[in-house]
Amino acid sequence: MGLLIRNGDIITADKRYKADIYIEDETITEIGENLQVPEGTEVIDAAGKYIFPGFIDPHVHIYLPFMGTYSKDTHASGSQAALIGGTTTFIEMCAPAGSEDTLEGYKHWKSLAEGNAACDYAFHMGVTRFDAQTEAQLREIVADGTPSFKVFLAYKGAFGIDDEALYKILTLAQELGVITTAHTENAELVAQLQQKLLSEGKTGPEWHEPSRPEYVEADGVHHFTTFLGATGAKGYIVHLSCKPALDAALEAKARGVDVAIEAVIPHLLLDKTYAERPDFEGAKFVMSPPLRDKRNQAVLWEALERGDVSTVGTDHAPFDTTQKAMGKGDFTRIPNGIPAIEDRVNLLYTYGVSRGNLDLHRFVDAASTQAAKLFGLYPRKGAVEVGSDADLVIYDPDYRGKLSVKMQHMNVDYSGFEGVEIDGKPEVVTVRGAVQVRDGQFIGDKARGRFLRRETLKVAGG
């Protein structure tokens, strides 16, 4: 049976118009006015609502072994929370430790998601080692439809890589037409600063940010972009958090380096004072790069408005308060991450579009279309076009409410945005034409999600 969505205000990265959308066999079949459809077609009246392409979160951690524990979401809980928040596709960081086999790690992450995700998903392949086997394994992973790598210029002794590995990874990426995403800090500087602070008795979560100051991130950006320039590879800086790092990235782009920039919703709305809250409350807000001085927020918003920041993700990494307490007496042992996969779209709309200066089309572009274009999914995803997957969000801009752990669906015992007001929320969400969320509640197929095989830059023409 087909699905007809009538009377909505269709909003994409570059268009706004009123029309009906007819969906059949998982894709958008027809767009127009007063469409005639077969008898028995389900009809949804979207009058007074926006119709957006399904939103894409390009940076999530659902399954994450980290700092001696595991993130709390499963692919079931994480994907359902994503859908309730309007995200119909996420790209998960597959991050085996440097001591683990790359290909086995990839297969393990895929097996965990298969049959358990309610929305569509893909992976960035974390490359945490580069030995005699790695190149052949990465070629196999790319051939399987995962043409994006992730490297860590951080987490020395766990995920971090040295410069020889970085050069070899980027050289291979350039050959294969793979985009390489990067966590950009200076791992050695972080390690030294951490030990210095601990030796001075500075052990609480408020010392996390001083252990990874802004200049450390800027140095990481400069380092990564220097290697991109040397190899000709295309790069993507994840969760850029501050003005010095942004300046370093824009200077590299001005030199002709092919690099895109991502911001994440915590850095746009939260600042370092959250991690300075007393009685270890600040541990909830420990992530890396850390929450920064508030002055950086306006800089990031303005770069997003201009398009210098291409995408907005979450770096969703849900660790509960018991897990965070592993770092009492030693902030370096606090599991890093703030849960946000459910809240990103509503927060970006509220504080970007509704209460800020973010253009509505730029909002769609940053939260959906750019990720689809950068990561080999466009126009299958990130578009409202005939032939595109029927991933759609019917959005109520008149809704008013507040975020709270009491109402969230992420499997974690706190909200990083407790009590924060939102203007608008998804009312209906479809994944390939199937209604997965209705009236803000998950009502769909818990195993609807599919692994998305993506194209390399060379095939996509990038």
- Tell me the pLDDT tens digit for each residue of 396-423: 999 999 999 999 999 999 999 999 999 9
For residue 295, the model assigns a pLDDT of: 98
For residue 161, the model assigns a pLDDT of: 86
pLDDT surpassing 80 at residue 458:
no
Q: Quick one: pLDDT band at residue 99, thresholds 50, 70, 90?
A: confident
For residue 67, the model assigns a pLDDT of: 79
- Tell me the pLDDT tens digit for each residue of 134-164: 999 999 999 999 999 999 998 776 777 899 9
The pLDDT of 379-399, averaged and rounded, is 98
For residue 462, the model assigns a pLDDT of: 46
- Tell me the pLDDT tens digit for each residue of 54-63: 999 999 999 9
The pLDDT of 113-122, averaged and rounded, is 98
Q: Quick one: pLDDT band at residue 375, thresholds 50, 70, 90?
A: very high
pLDDT surpassing 70 at residue 249:
yes
Alpha carbon 420 to its chain centroid, in Å, reads 20
pTM: 0.97
- Tell me the pLDDT tens digit for each residue of 156-204: 767 778 999 999 999 999 999 999 999 999 999 999 999 999 999 999 9
For residue 460, the model assigns a pLDDT of: 56
- Rounded distance between C-alpha atoms, residue 64 and residue 73, angstroms: 9
For residue 96, the model assigns a pLDDT of: 87
| Residues β-bridged to residue 389 | 27
For residue 186, the model assigns a pLDDT of: 94
- Tell me the pLDDT tens digit for each residue of 211-229: 999 999 999 999 999 999 9
- Rounded distance between C-alpha atoms, residue 423 and residue 354, angstroms: 7
Residue recorded with tokens 């790598």 = 149
Residues across the chain: 462
For residue 56, the model assigns a pLDDT of: 99
- Rounded distance between C-alpha atoms, residue 343 and residue 315, angstroms: 12
Q: What is the CATH number of domain 55-379?
A: 3.20.20.140
For residue 345, the model assigns a pLDDT of: 99
User: What is the chain's Cα-based Rg?
Assistant: 21
For residue 43, the model assigns a pLDDT of: 97
- Tell me the pLDDT tens digit for each residue of 270-325: 999 999 999 999 999 999 999 999 999 999 999 999 999 999 999 999 999 999 99
pLDDT surpassing 80 at residue 47:
yes
Across 94-98, 100-104, 181-185, 328-332, least confident range:
94-98
Mean of all residue pLDDT scores within the chain: 96
pLDDT surpassing 60 at residue 91:
yes
Task: Name 132's Cβ contacts closer than 8 Å, sequence gap at least 6.
Answer: none
